[in-house]
Amino acid sequence: MNTSESSVITDHLRAFIGVESVPVIYEIERHAVERFACAIGDPNPLYTDEIATRASSFGGLIAPPTFLRSLLPGHYPEPYPEPFAHILDGGSSYRFMKPVRVGDRIAVTRKIVDLYEKHGRMGTMLFKISEQKYVNQLGQLVATQTTTTITYGDGEKDSGVGDH
């Protein structure tokens, strides 16, 4: 297979590997956590029942594990040159070190750790592996999320392409 001839991974694109996004700090609001738990349909009292959580080993309200997903990372210092129009989410790997509590302030950063391409039914597809880091107000790394984002195809860009 000849990949050198028409690679979409230009030197410019490859230079984004390892570059950290501008940090964004989120306050973990009780109502946002409730709204997320309601949207996914998770009745776990740890996210909404303050009395129950105070008596639990957590000692207070926490966010659902994948609530981190709603804390969107910021942009890279330079605009990321997305070559394709359409986007697919390939998956996520989370590592949870500490619970995320209501009232926490969580700083989010993202960096691309790998880029590779595959050729298939939908033409050339670009696979972007990114690592999100979530750090609380005490400077503790509370979680990481490694995502696989697949982009492909020409035409008008989907809304949201470039956010992920």
Partner 1 sequence: MATIKSEPDDAVETGTELPTLWFEDVDVGNELPELIKMPDTRQLVMYAGASQDFVAIHYDLNVAKAAGHPTVIIHGALKSAWLAELVSGWIGSTGRLLELDVSYRAIDFPGTPVTCLGKVTGTRIENGVGLVELEIGLRNVDNVITTPGRALVSLPTRTVIS
Binding site for partner 1 (CB under 8 A): 32, 35-36, 38-42, 44-46, 49, 51-59, 64-66, 69-70, 72, 86-96, 99, 158-161, 163-164
Smallest distance, partner 1 to C-beta of residue 37, A: 9
Smallest distance, partner 1 to C-beta of residue 162, A: 10
**Is residue 84 exposed (0-12), middle (13-18) or buried (19+ Cβ within 10 Å)?**
buried
What burial letters (b/e) apply to 21-37, b meaning 16+ CB within 10 Å? beeeebebeeebbeebb
The alpha-helical segments, DSSP class H, found in 55-115 are none
Closest to partner 1 by CB, 54 vs 118, is: 54
Its sign, for the CA torsion 38, 96, 49, 43, is: positive
Closest to partner 1 by CB, 83 vs 162, is: 162
Closest to partner 1 by CB, 65 vs 83, is: 65
Rounded Cα distance, 32 and 94, in Å = 20
The tokens describing 11, both together, are: 């030197």
Closest to partner 1 by CB, 15 vs 52, is: 52
Closest to partner 1 by CB, 15 vs 89, is: 89
Smallest distance, partner 1 to C-beta of residue 22, A: 17
Smallest distance, partner 1 to C-beta of residue 122, A: 9
Smallest distance, partner 1 to C-beta of residue 151, A: 11
**Is residue 57 exposed (0-12), middle (13-18) or buried (19+ Cβ within 10 Å)?**
exposed
